[in-house]
Amino acid sequence: MTTQPHSYESGEDGFFGPFGGCFVSETLAQAVEELRLAYAHYRNDPAFIAEFHEELADYVGRPSPVYYAKRLSEETGGARIFLKREDLNHTGAHKINNVIGQAMLAKRMGKHRIIAETGAGQHGVAVATICARYGLECVIYMGSTDMQRQQPNVQRMQLLGATVTPVTTGSCTLKDAMNDAIRDWVAHVDDTFYLIGSVAGMHPYPTMVRDFQTVIGKECLLQVPALFQRLGLSQSLPDAVIACVGGGSNAMGIFHPYLEHESVRLIGVEAAGMGLDSGLHASSIQRGSTGVLHGSRSLILQDDLGQVQQTHSISAGLDYPGVGPEHAWLHELGRAEYVGITDAEALHAFHQLCRVEGIIPALEASHAVAYAIKLAATLTNEHTILVNLSGRGDKDMETVVNSSLHREAS
């Protein structure tokens, strides 16, 4: 038997094995096709690529460092833990990387009006930021429940000049905001660009968003060997790369450049909420089934009748009932592993990182840190784990302080 090296490239049609694709109504088909052609052109355009990297350097502050979390590693007593510091980006998370790429594309396509959905408000803030930077009109759809839970982000978006439109259908949260944004797009295809915040949605979004986010992993491929050498480690690749998975964009961004390095374990951490068997979680890969949501086939949390289920996570950014199709495929291929971390475990890791490293992580990223700590404890200090620290935790102060779990966990 010969073993073929695996190809992890998606098809031209946006399918990742059985997942992905473009399931849209006729009214949207043309707008999606226009986007697909524009992206297919500009992704190979040297001027576009050069401007993207200038923006990332001058406006976002890239490259973000890779940091050896020495005290965390020593306290854990096992593998060495390294953090890719996406929390240091302008606007406080990885989301800005993708938003800049899509906004640049919108300008080149002659679209002056940007619409986006947001759950926690982090993607909305990034979009409002870049619309201010480029002088574009900005409309953000946000569930009315989320608007109440995330008041400071609503105020930030308004300060930046965006219109925040409340969504009062369904569960009044992220998936409903995405539905309303898609409806708006259908009604205004001529002048409007729909800026999706994760590797979800119809083709070409999962591929396009992943491409913009791979700057994270590409930087790591250069930074990690240099740092390992400074520390006197002989290897040049980490043993494992860990990232939290909501829609899956920060995880795809760090995983993708490592896909061909088969010795590197890739581990996606889903929100297990109150527990994977509690019914109160957002673990679409571990507990979902195949279905179509927002224009692509993937693993989604749905009941027997195909109704999308309510999700729960302490971190609003992981609270999405679907996941990017490329993750569903990597799961099926066995190239990436997917695990769950509960609210309580994430909170515990949040406090530990604050206390021993002086870094306040986003609750989303705390899920990845929590799993890294668990895994590190089973390994030796010859081993290395690279964690994508997707964002900072300023936005989560209130949740953490108000959490009753806070007392249980500490």
Ligand X SMILES: *Cc1c(COP(=O)(O)O)cnc(C)c1O
Catalytic sites, residue numbers = 95, 117, 390
Binds ligand X (CB under 6 A): choice among 83, 93, 139, 387: 93
Residue 67 to residues 178, 276, 370, Cα–Cα distance (Å): 35, 31, 17
Residues 178 and 10: beta-carbon distance below 8 Å: no
Residues 327 and 338: beta-carbon distance below 8 Å: yes
The residues with which 69 forms a beta bridge, in sequence order, are none
Binds ligand X (CB under 6 A): choice among 78, 246, 257, 322: 246
Q: Is residue 138 part of the contact set for ligand X (CB under 6 A)?
A: no
Please identify, using beta-carbon distances, which residue of 78 and 197 lies nearer to ligand X: 197
C-alpha 272/C-alpha 371 separation (Å) is 12
Q: Is residue 173 part of the contact set for ligand X (CB under 6 A)?
A: no
Q: Which residue is nearest to ligand X (CB)?
A: 391
Q: Is residue 95 part of the contact set for ligand X (CB under 6 A)?
A: yes
Q: Is residue 283 part of the contact set for ligand X (CB under 6 A)?
A: no
The CB-of-150 to ligand X minimum distance in angstroms stands at: 12
The CB-of-98 to ligand X minimum distance in angstroms stands at: 9
Q: State both tokens at 351.
A: 């406090």
Binds ligand X (CB under 6 A): choice among 244, 269, 346, 376: 244
Q: Is residue 28 part of the contact set for ligand X (CB under 6 A)?
A: no
Please identify, using beta-carbon distances, which residue of 78 and 391 lies nearer to ligand X: 391
Q: Is residue 281 part of the contact set for ligand X (CB under 6 A)?
A: no
Residue type, 42: Y
Q: Is residue 122 part of the contact set for ligand X (CB under 6 A)?
A: yes
- Reported for 401-409, long-range contacts at CB under 8 A and 24+ positions apart, including other chains, are 403/314, 403/347, 405/314, 405/343, 405/344, 405/347, 406/347, 406/351, 408/344, 409/344, 409/347, 409/348, 409/351
The CB-of-310 to ligand X minimum distance in angstroms stands at: 18
Binds ligand X (CB under 6 A): choice among 97, 390, 399, 403: 390
Please identify, using beta-carbon distances, which residue of 93 and 259 lies nearer to ligand X: 93
The CB-of-329 to ligand X minimum distance in angstroms stands at: 16
Q: What is the CA radius of gyration of the chain?
A: 20
What's CA 324's distance to the chain center, in Å?
Answer: 9
Query: What stretch of H or E contains 355?
Result: helix 343-357
Contact residues for ligand X (CB under 6 A)?
A: 93, 95, 122, 198, 244-251, 317-318, 362, 364-365, 390-391
